[in-house]
Amino acid sequence: MKKIFLTATFCLILSPQVFAQETNPDTVKIGCYVISLHDFDFPRKEYTARFWLWTLYKNPNINFENAVEIPNAKSIQVDETVSDSLDGKKWVQMKLKCVMKESWNIDNFPFDRQELHILVENSKYDVRSMVFVPDTVGKFYDPELTVEGWKIKSFKIETGVSRYATGFGDNTLKKPVSDYSKFSIAIELERNAWGLFLKLFLGMYVAFAISFVSFFIDPQHVDPRFGLPVGGLFASVGNKYVIDSYLPDTSTLTIVDILHALTFIFIFGIIAFSALSLRQEETGFVAQSKRTDRYVAWAMIGIYALVNAVLISLAILS
């Protein structure tokens, strides 16, 4: 009887500790060190990131490395895993290579800024088992890291909770909702735009310049007077298709669309005023025809340059 009493007493003393272990989630310190960002593919909406990820936690029964989940990754490759102990805690380091999916914001391309997001979760343990806290000591990325064509404007890490509107078949949950701790890496990039802008848009501006030259050709020379702007129109359309091949499909109107549409309209205007000038000359209004060419030519190039400058400035500042 005395043994039974002692056993029961011991169980009562121990049970709160066991209960606490089952209900109190383990605090997992998590950090990262980005090695490289490369293979930016805008049409496919993806890029490649290589980085170290580490965790430090008390519960030796948790195998974090076996259930790492990066929800917005197309593929995850674990190049190296190191497990050790540090101050009585389990210390796991992983070297990852991930092809990330990203929704690019191309409204102001090539004067665009992009914010890359890498989300890390653990598919096996929800917030009842583990809670992330960020390791903010030291650098988060290699100081020698360069992203070709881009400047790194900011780099932030934070932790939070991802909520899924399903229990994933767990009928012990009171509501069909699952919460998982998440670790978020946010990298803001700004494009080095001017070199790319000149490469992409030089063809369009040359096409407009060729079309503009037709104002200095006598309207009676019909073939060159109308052939130049028509050729310029086709060249600018071709330039538009070349740029579109570098970008993902989008239903929004981008600065690329607006600048090309502006060029199409002005080249069509050159053709229309050329027809008017030819009509004036054929009906005997030669002096008026020359005035039309002169005034319209300088008005068009002035307005075209001004509108381009305004649109590009707005894209840079936005």
- What is d(CA 54, CA 227) in angstroms, rounded to the nearest whole number? 65
Identify whether residues 97 and 62 lie together within a single domain: yes
pLDDT tens across 29-72, in order?
999 999 999 999 999 999 999 999 999 999 888 888 888 999 99
Identify whether residues 306 and 245 lie together within a single domain: yes
Identify whether residues 225 and 144 lie together within a single domain: no
pLDDT tens across 85-114, in order?
888 899 999 999 999 999 999 999 999 999
Identify whether residues 149 and 295 lie together within a single domain: no
Give the chain's mean pLDDT. Answer: 88
- Sequence-distant (≥ 6) Cβ neighbours of residue 317 within 8 angstroms: none
Rounded to 10°, the helix 255-282/193-213 angle is 10
Task: Tell me, yes or no, whether 130 lies in a domain.
Answer: yes
Q: For the chain, give the percent of residues with pLDDT over 90.
A: 61
Residue 133 pLDDT more than 90? Answer: yes
Identify whether residues 237 and 172 lie together within a single domain: no
Domain total of the chain: 2
pLDDT tens across 228-270, in order?
999 999 999 999 999 999 999 888 899 999 999 999 999 999 9
Identify whether residues 57 and 186 lie together within a single domain: yes
Question: What pLDDT was estimated at residue 23?
Answer: 60
Identify whether residues 39 and 160 lie together within a single domain: yes
Last residue of a domain, one of 191, 220, 236: 191
Task: Tell me, yes or no, whether 1 lies in a domain.
Answer: no
- Residue corresponding to tokens 């000038």: 277
Identify whether residues 169 and 239 lie together within a single domain: no
Q: Find out whether 201 and 216 touch, Cβ atoms under 8 Å.
A: no
Question: What pLDDT was estimated at residue 36?
Answer: 95
Task: Tell me, yes or no, whether 248 lies in a domain.
Answer: yes
Identify whether residues 168 and 296 lie together within a single domain: no
pTM score: 0.81
Identify whether residues 222 and 186 lie together within a single domain: no
Identify whether residues 58 and 185 lie together within a single domain: yes
Task: Tell me, yes or no, whether 307 lies in a domain.
Answer: yes
- The CATH number that applies at residue 46 is 2.70.170.10
Task: Tell me, yes or no, whether 242 lies in a domain.
Answer: yes
Range of the domain at 63: 25-191
pLDDT tens across 135-188, in order?
999 899 988 888 989 999 999 999 999 988 887 877 777 788 888 999 999 999
Task: Tell me, yes or no, whether 4 lies in a domain.
Answer: no
Last residue of a domain, one of 191, 207, 234: 191
**276: left (phi > 0), else alpha (psi -120 to 50), else beta?**
alpha
pLDDT tens across 210-226, in order?
999 998 888 788 888 89
Identify whether residues 139 and 48 lie together within a single domain: yes
Among candidate residues 53, 85, 47, the one with its CA nearest the CA of residue 68: 53
- The CATH number that applies at residue 225 is 1.20.58.390
Task: Tell me, yes or no, whether 127 lies in a domain.
Answer: yes
Last residue of a domain, one of 191, 216, 245: 191
